[in-house]
Amino acid sequence: MERPKIRLRLVDRLGPRGCHHGHAIGDTFDFDTERGKLCPMAAHAAFPYVDILRYGGTLPLSSAGDIRFCCPDPDVANVFRLEVVPEDGGT
């Protein structure tokens, strides 16, 4: 069984400052091929969620109805949405 591809999309910012790594709302990252472009703190926070989804687990949904996590930077607190990419590569 092939692991599903996971996409991360920056959807909100809760902190008072801009992202130290330069990420902006709307930025999207393929976790397999673009992980190096992602802030290391956000990538580290994402990994357990990505791993759960890759191996068939489920995660609780946010109030928006999707899977979200925040980066650990207290000045920024970027909110990312995790998406399992359909096999056809759609959105």
- Give domain status of residue 55, yes or no: yes
- Give domain status of residue 91, yes or no: no
Question: Into how many domains does the chain fold?
Answer: 1
pTM of the model: 0.90
Question: What one-character DSSP code corresponds to residue 49?
Answer: H
Instruction: Retrieve residue 56's tokens.
Output: 């068939």
10-residue stretch averages of pLDDT, the chain, 91 residues long: 89 93 96 93 95 92 95 94 82 58
- Give domain status of residue 61, yes or no: yes
Neighbour-count burial of 15, counting CB atoms closer than 10 A to its CB (0-12 exposed, 13-18 middle, 19+ buried):
middle
- Give domain status of residue 60, yes or no: yes
Instruction: Retrieve residue 62's tokens.
Output: 């946010």
- Give domain status of residue 90, yes or no: no
- Per-residue confidence (pLDDT) for residue 24, from 0 to 100: 96
Per-residue pLDDT tens for 35-59? 899 999 999 999 999 999 999 899 9
Q: Which structural domain range is residue 72 located in?
A: 5-85
- Give domain status of residue 47, yes or no: yes
Strands of 78-85's sheet in order across: 28-30, 5-13, 78-85, 67-70
